[in-house]
């Protein structure tokens, strides 16, 4: 092996048609699907230093890591099977369709669950039950030579049992080599080792460099199993000697109790074996080579030379984990595959909540993509791979922080579809109160001016609502060319009677109006950096920043409104939750003013009559 200069804590395992890598803060699984495409699933995990202190105690940490790795590994294995083992057709097989409709679960989910259950039972049968059974047969004909659990006979007994366990293990590996799919898994295992070795030797992670590296690695699970076999022999012998054997008078009951004791000792064996593996992995000294050699020899069986595509899988998974460990904003990913709606919703909601994203966004993505109301998401159904692909694309883009309605490209405001993108603010629900106040005040033949119109949502809603029983005219004004383009699109889309003009507040406005509305920028400049990421980084600052105290635009409106408001006219303004009283002072010369609260009880709308 080449000398290692860049040790890493990242480990991994082969999965079906792919590789899973696991770091301190993230794990990533990359699988090649039946179309030859690379699919990735990545999720964040709790780093060891943030877990409870007892989980980091020597020996206990081995038990914890063994359990966590086992659970994560099984989940990755099962998830990979959902991606790699598929038969996607235009029309699903009748049995799949029947299972989906009858049981609200995919046939592949049922298959993988029972595969896991059967796999655990087979493992216990092969590596615990059979060695005990065969050793018991030998003990029964040994005339007591190895039946006594005390002293050397007890050691011999456990050596023979361990020998059977080792032979069964080797036989199991050789048997799996008969199957092409499992030989491929061993090749992915080789790709995983080679990738980690390439990184630890300090070489760039390219397919060419990885190909040159060794398939042997000190922290391999195969080596861990070897240590488990050795430690189990010694520990089982010691425990048998310590308790003095079990003799209930029933051979079957004695066997069963011994089986339970050894089953209970497995976590202890795992903890001790983990510490040995961890200790030996820290050094490349030739002095410890005899201890590592048996593991290397076993790895000759459980790893095979990968092809470039397999290496590509391993490198992609490794690099994603490196990125997730280094960057807390590195996005999580979900496999694109057939799955249950409830499972997909649960995964999306969990990830969104961890990232501080409103969990309702998960419901909106599912509702809009699947064309079902949010209230209907509680009814189970199977999400096809094609549907899942669209959902995951939206999900991953949302994880970048980009607001959902920018991703979708439109939203609903006051019952009307409104196009939105980064050139305009996304209309908020509380702004509908402003529209409600304007619609209730407007009369036949009135003229309405909407300043700082942005997407034109307010102007469109007022015009369309009033048009149901009145004839009015509406002008929408904004200084931004981009916003004006979006506003014109929304006017056309909703067939609203609105004229859109470019104007910096009243600068290019002609005439007087019965009602003037505005939702101007009112965020204090110093508070912009504290806003939610999706607002701060994506919505236009020009539509947010209201100056040092957030009231700059209200002062400018107050200075110009007198020339453009008709006698008895009304000015309706939206404001921040703590700004209404200060705005009333700015308009102290008006005839009448009042404040309207939003549904949360916050002072949100200021109405001023001239």
| DSSP string computed for 344-402 | HHHHHHHHHHHTT--THHHHHHHHHHHT--GGGGGS--EEPHHHHHHHHHHHHHHHTT-
In the DSSP assignment, the letter for residue 461 is H
Question: Is the pLDDT reported for residue 473 higher than 60?
Answer: yes
What percentage of residues in the chain have a pLDDT greater than 90? 57
pLDDT of 99 > 70? The answer is no
Phi and psi at residue 503, in whole multiples of 5°?
-160, 140
Using N-to-C axis directions, what is the helix angle for 251-281 and 130-140, rounded to 10°? 120
DSSP 423: T
Q: With 60 as the cut, is the pLDDT of residue 388 above it?
A: yes
**Residue 521 known to bind ligand:** yes
Give the mean pLDDT of the chain.
88
More confident residue, 123 or 296: 296
Question: What are 223-279's pLDDT values in tens digits?
Answer: 998 998 889 888 888 887 777 667 677 878 888 888 888 888 888 888 899 889 988
Give the dihedral sign, CA 168/216/305/73.
positive
Q: What is the pLDDT of residue 55?
A: 81
Residue 316's nearest CA partner among 14, 13, 8, 18 is 18
**514 annotated binding-site participant:** no
Token readout for 298 is 């076993």
Per the rule left: phi > 0, alpha: psi between -120 and 50, beta: everything else, 96 is alpha
State mean pLDDT over 392-412: 94
Secondary structure string (H, E, C) spanning 119-156? HHHHHHHHHHHHHHHHHHHHHHCCCCCCCCCCHHHHHH
Mean predicted confidence (pLDDT) in 371-400: 91
* CATH classification number, 424-609, choose in 3.10.450.50, 3.40.50.300, 3.40.50.150, 2.60.40.3140: 3.40.50.150
Helices (H), 204-245: 207-212, 221-243
User: Residue 90 — φ and ψ, nearest 5°?
Assistant: -60, -40
Cα separation of 571 and 112, whole Å?
64
- Rounded Cα–Cα distance for residues 200 and 3 (Å): 9
Nearest to 458 by CA among 450, 467, 469, 466: 450
Confidence of residue 91 (pLDDT cuts 50, 70, 90): very low
Instruction: Specify the higher pLDDT residue, 365 or 384.
Output: 365
Q: What pLDDT score does 541 carry?
A: 95
478 carries a ligand binding annotation: yes
Mean pLDDT, rounded, for 556-566: 95
Over residues 87-104, the mean pLDDT reads 50
CA-nearest of 73, 39, 41 to 333 is: 41
Q: Identify the helix (H) or strand (E) that includes residue 113.
A: helix 107-124
> Hey, what are 571's tokens?
């000015």
Please state whether beta strands 447-451 and 565-574 pair in parallel, antiparallel, or not at all (unpaired). unpaired
Strand partners, 451: 518
Among the listed residues 434, 361, 363, the one whose alpha carbon sits nearest the alpha carbon of residue 400 = 361
CA atoms within 13 A on the CB side of 265: 20
Q: To the nearest whole percent, how much of the chain has pLDDT over 70?
A: 92
* Local confidence band at 143 (pLDDT 50, 70, 90 cut-offs): low
Structure tokens at 247: 């003799």
**In contact, 414 and 408? CB cutoff 8 Å:** no
More confident residue, 161 or 452: 452
Most trustworthy range by pLDDT among 242-256, 552-566, 588-602: 552-566
Scan for tokens 């049922």, then name that residue: 110
Q: Where are the alpha helices (H) located in 34-106, listed in sequence order?
A: 60-84, 94-103
Say what the pLDDT of residue 138 is. Answer: 83
What are the structure tokens assigned to 332, written together? Answer: 């999580």
- Tell me which DSSP letter residue 523 carries: B
371 near 80, Cβ under 8 Å?
A: no
SS3 534: helix
Indicate the pLDDT class of residue 90, thresholds 50, 70 and 90: very low
Radius of gyration of the chain from its Cα atoms, rounded to whole angstroms: 34
d(Cα 52, Cα 57) in Å, to the nearest integer?
10
Q: Say if residue 97's pLDDT is above 70.
A: no
pLDDT of 37 reads: 85
Q: At what angle do helices 431-441 and 457-466 cross, to 10 degrees?
A: 30
Over the stretch 376-387, which tens digit does the pLDDT of each residue have? Answer: 998 888 898 889
Asked whether the whole model's pTM tops 0.95, one would answer no
Is the separation of the CB atoms in 56 and 24 below 8 Å? no
The DSSP code for 268 is H
State which H helix or E strand residue 484 sits in: helix 481-494
pLDDT higher than 80, residue 433: yes
What is the residue whose two structure tokens read 């080579």? 289
CA pair distance 19, 318, nearest whole angstrom: 9
What average pLDDT does range 34-48 have in this prediction? 87
CA distance 264 to 249: 23
Is 417 assigned a ligand-binding role in the annotation? no
**Is 511 or 101 the better-scoring residue by pLDDT?**
511
Say how far apart CA 136 and CA 330 lie, in whole Å: 55
pLDDT at 218 over 50: yes
Backbone dihedral angles phi then psi of residue 295, each to the nearest 5 degrees: -65, -40
User: 78 or 365: which carries more pLDDT confidence?
Assistant: 365
């Amino acid at each position: 092996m080449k000398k290692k200069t860049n040790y890493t804590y990242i480990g991994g395992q082969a999965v079906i048609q792919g590789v899973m890598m696991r770091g301190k803060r993230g794990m990533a699984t990359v699988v090649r699907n039946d179309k030859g495409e690379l699919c990735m699933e990545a999720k964040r995990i709790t780093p060891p230093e943030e877990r409870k202190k007892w989980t980091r105690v020597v020996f206990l940490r081995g038990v914890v890591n063994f359990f966590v790795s086992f659970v994560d590994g099984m989940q990755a294995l099962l998830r990979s099977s959902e991606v790699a083992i598929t038969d996607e057709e235009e029309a699903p097989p009748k049995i799949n369709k029947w299972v989906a409709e009858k049981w609200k679960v995919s046939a592949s989910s049922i298959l993988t669950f029972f595969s896991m259950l059967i796999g655990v039972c087979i493992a216990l049968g092969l590596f615990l039950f059979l060695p005990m059974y065969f050793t018991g047969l030998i003990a029964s004909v040994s005339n007591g030579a190895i039946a006594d659990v005390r002293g050397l006979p007890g050691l011999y007994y456990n050596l023979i049992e361990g020998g059977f366990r080792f032979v069964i293990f080797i036989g199991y590996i050789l048997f799996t080599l008969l199957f092409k799919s499992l030989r491929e898994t061993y090749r992915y295992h080789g790709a995983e080792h080679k990738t980690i070795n390439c990184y630890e030797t300090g070489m760039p992670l390219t397919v060419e460099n990885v190909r040159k590296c060794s398939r042997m690695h000190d922290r391999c699970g195969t080596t861990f199993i070897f240590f488990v076999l050795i430690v189990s022999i010694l520990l089982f012998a010691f425990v048998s000697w310590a308790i003095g054997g079990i003799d209930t008078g029933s051979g079957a009951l004695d066997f069963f109790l011994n089986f339970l004791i050894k089953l209970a000792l497995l976590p202890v064996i795992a903890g001790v074996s983990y510490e040995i593996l961890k200790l030996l992995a820290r050094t490349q000294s030739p002095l410890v080579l005899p201890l590592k050699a048996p593991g290397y020899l076993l790895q000759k069986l459980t790893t095979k030379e990968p092809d470039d595509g397999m290496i590509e899988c391993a490198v992609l998974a490794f690099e994603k984990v490196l990125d997730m460990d280094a960057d807390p904003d590195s996005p999580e990913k979900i496999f694109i595959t057939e799955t249950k709606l409830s499972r997909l919703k649960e995964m999306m909601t969990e990830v969104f909540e961890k990232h501080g994203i409103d969990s309702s966004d998960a419901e909106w993505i599912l509702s809009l993509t699947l064309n079902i109301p949010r209230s209907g998401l509680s009814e189970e159904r199977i999400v096809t791979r094609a549907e899942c692909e669209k959902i995951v694309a939206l999900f991953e883009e949302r994880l970048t922080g980009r607001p959902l309605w920018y991703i979708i490209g439109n939203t609903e405001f006051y019952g009307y579809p409104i196009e939105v993108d980064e050139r305009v603010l996304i209309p908020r629900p509380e702004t509908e109160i402003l529209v409600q106040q304007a619609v209730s005040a407007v009369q036949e033949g009135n003229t309405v001016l909407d300043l700082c119109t942005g997407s034109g949502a307010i102007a469109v809603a007022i015009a369309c609502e009033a048009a149901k029983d009145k004839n009015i005219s509406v002008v929408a004004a904004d200084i931004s060319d981009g916003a004006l383009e979006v506003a014109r699109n929304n006017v056309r889309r909703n067939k609203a009677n609105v004229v859109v003009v470019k104007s910096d507040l009243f600068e290019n406005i002609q005439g007087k109006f019965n009602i003037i509305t505005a939702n101007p920028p009112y965020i204090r400049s110093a508070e912009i950096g504290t806003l939610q990421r999706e607002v701060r980084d994506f919505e236009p600052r020009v539509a947010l920043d209201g100056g040092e105290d957030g009231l700059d635009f209200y002062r400018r409106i107050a200075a110009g409104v007198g020339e453009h408001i008709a006698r008895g006219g009304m000015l309706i303004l939206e404001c921040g939750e703590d700004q209404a009283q200060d705005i009333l002072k700015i308009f102290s010369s008006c005839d009448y003013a009042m404040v309207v609260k939003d549904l949360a009880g916050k002072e949100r709308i200021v109405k001023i009559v001239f």
